Amino acid sequence: MSDLNKGKFITFEGIDGCGKSTQVKMLVKKLEQLNMDVITIREPGGTRISESIRDVLLYRDTHELGGRTEALLMTASRTQLTKEIILPALDKGTWVIADRYADSTLAYQGGGRKIDLDSLEKLNQFATYDTVPDLTFFIDILPDEGVKRQNTKLDRIEQAGIDFQSRVRGLYLKLAEKYSNRIVVINGQEDIETIHKNIWKEFEQRMLEK
Ligand code: ADP
Ligand code: TYD
């Protein structure tokens, strides 16, 4: 099958509470209205095995879990999801819209937990079978705003606090500079409809008008 028949891979990134899930739903609704073949995934999770890993990462009483273990589990979940769902979908021409992917590991485990970025980049390459998104929306909000939007029942990573979220955001901003061809920065402080319109404008230009 030639590349022309392949689906495109779009990812959404940002700190906790930035509004990714909201915007993923709005974009997918729009694509479905255009009769495009599209699936949504979210990380960590998305397959039977990856959901078990998610449970260990976020919801079990695992406060002793170390940073490297966290990185390995995040990427293990990603490998299974990539092999089982993402690559087969793209091969048959389905578009895949992801709520988080490999950049999250660089931002959270690299920026947040301060793990060496080169090691994480290599780990990601291995875990993703070298799959790189065609387009990534980084929805940028200030950490204060993220905290305001969070519900009261925080998962293990959300409990890491505002300094942690600031480091995660800092790393995302660096990635956006380094991979400026792929990563589009969207101002997440605006209202939901305005953000959707801004995302759609970029999406149309970059993915549909080529
Ligand atoms: P994420 O998936 O990035 O954690 P969500 O889309 O679940 O974020 O949004 C977190 C919360 O913030 C939800 O209650 C959602 O309704 C709200 N929200 C999302 N986008 C905005 C926005 N632009 N302005 C204000 N509130 C928002
Ligand atoms: P989730 O409830 O899906 O949060 P959100 O709606 O903010 O995406 O929880 C996922 C959490 O896992 C989130 O705090 C980000 C974190 N995470 C990492 O630390 N590394 C990763 O590689 C991924 C995919 C997620």
Model confidence pLDDT, tens digit, residues 138-163:
999 999 999 899 877 888 888 888 99
**Can you read off the two tokens belonging to residue 111?**
């920026």
Residue range 57-62: mean pLDDT, rounded: 85
Q: Percent of the chain at pLDDT above 90?
A: 87
Tell which residue, 40, 35, 30, 55, has the closest CA to residue 9.
40
Higher-pLDDT residue of 61 and 181 is 181
Ligand 2: residue whose CA is nearest its atom 3: 43
For residue 201, the CA-to-ligand 2 centroid distance in Å is: 26
pLDDT computed for residue 181 by the predictor: 97
204 vs 60, higher pLDDT: 204
The CA dihedral of 83, 80, 153, 145, to the nearest 10 degrees, is -50
Backbone dihedral region for residue 8 (phi beyond 0: left; psi -120 to 50: alpha; all else: beta): beta
Residue 155 in tokens: 């998962």
Cβ atoms within 10 Å of 171's Cβ, excluding its own: 20
**Distance, CA of 187 to chain centre:** 16
pLDDT for 128-140, tens place per residue? Answer: 999 999 999 999 9
Average pLDDT of every residue of the chain = 95
The pLDDT value recorded for residue 1 is: 45
Q: CA 167 to CA 5: how far, in whole Å? A: 39
Residue 182 and residue 132 in contact, taking contact as beta carbons nearer than 8 Å: yes
User: What is the distance in A from the centroid of ligand 2 to the CA of 69?
Assistant: 15
State how far the Cα of 6 lies from the Cα of 3, in Å rounded to an integer.
Answer: 5
Q: In this predicted model, which residue has the larger pLDDT, 111 or 6?
A: 111
Alpha-carbon gap, residue 190 to 155, rounded angstroms: 26
pLDDT, mean of residues 119-133: 98
Counting ligands in written order, the one closest to the CA of 81 is: 2
Q: Are 3 and 60 in contact (CB under 8 A)?
A: no
pLDDT the model gives residue 210:
63
pLDDT computed for residue 157 by the predictor: 83
Pocket test for ligand 1, best of 20, 22, 192 (most atoms within 8 A of CB): 22
Check residues 5 and 148 and name the one with the higher pLDDT: 148
pLDDT for residue 92 is more than 70: yes
- Do 185 and 140 touch, CB atoms closer than 8 A? yes
pLDDT (mean) for 43-54: 97
Instruction: Look at ligand 2, atom 7, and give the residue with the nearest C-alpha.
Output: 16
Lowest mean pLDDT, pick from 7-11, 15-19, 55-59: 55-59
CATH class held by domain 9-208? alpha beta
